Structure 1
Amino acid sequence: MSSLFAKAAGTVGCAVLALPVLAALVVATLLDSLTTGNDAAAAPSKSAVADIPPAMLTIYRQAAPECPGLSWTILAAIGKVETDHARIHTMVSTAGAVGPMQFLPATFAAYSHPVPPGGRRPATPWDPVDAVHAAARLLCANGARDGHDVRRAVFAYNHSTAYVNKVVAIAATYAAGEPAPARAGATAVAFAHSQLGAPYVWGGDGPVDGGFDCSGLTQAAYHAAAIALPRTAQAQYDAGPHLPHEAPLLPGDLLFYGTDPHHITHVALYTGNGLAIDAPHSGAVVRQGPARLNTPSFRGATRPAVQGAAG
């Protein structure tokens, strides 16, 4: 049986075709990229330190691991929008939501256990520790796990697109500035996320061809980040820069598969949290799944995002 990144028997590899001008990445997808791949240890920006009371900042960062892949900045942004980090005096909404994270009592009860360290017993939506941990669990249940669909999770928290946009924008200001390679990698990942479900097409470079093949997708993703890649998986592997075997992967790194370094047959885009996106084989669609770094065909990773570091 073929793995996520193994070509099915009888299918062809990536082809050499000219790169067409690709459609620009939609703003909503780029915003999604800013909310993924950041864990509770991510450094707060100067804006975050100035705006968030120290006790609340600590709670947001401690609660984020309740949902693997969720950035504490999303929790903090929700706390900002709802109650200005518990600064408002009357934390009761007209709909009956209460506390610093504005929970309806019934909703809070569904996500309040186990009581987190430092929380109240019995748990209460008025307690910041209880409320923020419950918010992380609620977001996780609605799509935020592993950063899969943070916007949908925030929309489930408050059914307003304007609310989602405001939360994501605030979260971006709370995250410490990323170096250029991380920004380019995030843009490439955002593009790849926007193509999930697109058909696999041998030699495909995008919508004009009806879909992508493996290297067509990765080339297009980095085109969105203003970084030029060669067209084929082998050429992309040869272009590097190669990562040492023991180096930790970052979102945007390219993962290569083949029988040996001179016969690379497949490439995927690492998205963080042990996941990657690829265009796998004929009859399939662009999809996200485990990166499968332990398969015998894995030949290593490159970090083309460093090419944009000077930009």
Structure 2
Amino acid sequence: MKLSRTRLALLIGAAGVLLLVAVIVSPMLLISLPSFLSEGGTSPDCNDKTQVEEVSDSAASDIPAEYLEFYKKYGKKIGVQWNILAAVGKRETDHGRSNLPGVKSGTNYAGAAGPMQFLISTWGGKARVAMSSKFTGYASDGDGDGVGDIYNPADAILGAARMLKRNGAPENVRQALFVYNRAWWYVDQVEAIARKYAKSGDVKVPPQASEECDDSLVEAAPSDIVAKILEYALAQRGKPYLWGGTGPDAFDCSGVIFAAYREAGLTIPRTTFGQWPFGVKVLEGQEQPGDLVFFNAGPGTSADNPGHVGLVVSKGKMLEARCRLCGPIKVTSYQARDNRIGFTRPLQNPDVLEQLKKLQNPTL
């Protein structure tokens, strides 16, 4: 299969952006953020953007062995730089060694707690959250005891890694840290620590997935029509988000999907609100490339009225145009978000089936 347009577009593609955790001096904004479930699922090796960075002598001597293991383990698992996680842990609580209020029990003056200094409100509303319960926050169970404990380093570091990933890491670390604390001096301090912790003395930014990666995704498509949809959609990576955008220079979440289907000769509704009832519902686990995945996100939305949509490109992965501050269009994990409400298959809509017949036999 020739993918010259994909390869050409990838040459001008760019990476994504953003964000991070809570802090003592100026903690995270008091907003309720989505929780994260298990990363789960499998993906091709070419989609793994995590780079392994060797540990410097400074890191080995400064970071407690248990904490170092967690930083590396969850950085790799979630897909963020371990040394950025470690630098946040150092700056916040000296890897849990600080005796300031809120580190080992209670909260500090701003309501932050634990070694990574989450606000109780962003963790799940309380310091210890049963993972079997419904909650809105970043409570995580790193040690597998069924409880997300804000004071437990395994839980807290896993939660921090998920928060980083949720907000666009690992591509734009400085922007991520700025959103974390809204202070450039803080960004400079954390980044300086991260550089000392890396043997290379750098904060590595993972490269874009190769064009061979896109080749494999397109070639694995369940049909030629899905291959055309994926080829166009993947070529839009690196372009900016624009509310109401349908290309060619910028898109919003439903706009890039609308344009990808249009490129394949198919017409589907333009907006997320129209796309949700349009496709045939697909059970989770049975979704396939070309399907749409919907989220309860955005003002005025609900479980029956989703406000965000992504295009499934492989198991657990979607292409999405998320928001203006979330960085350019990119491939992300949909399994990492618990506000996911369902999948649909537009190709099974009766109108689309008729369009497909006409594409296959223009004389009809």
Superposition TM-score, scaled by structure 2 size: 0.39
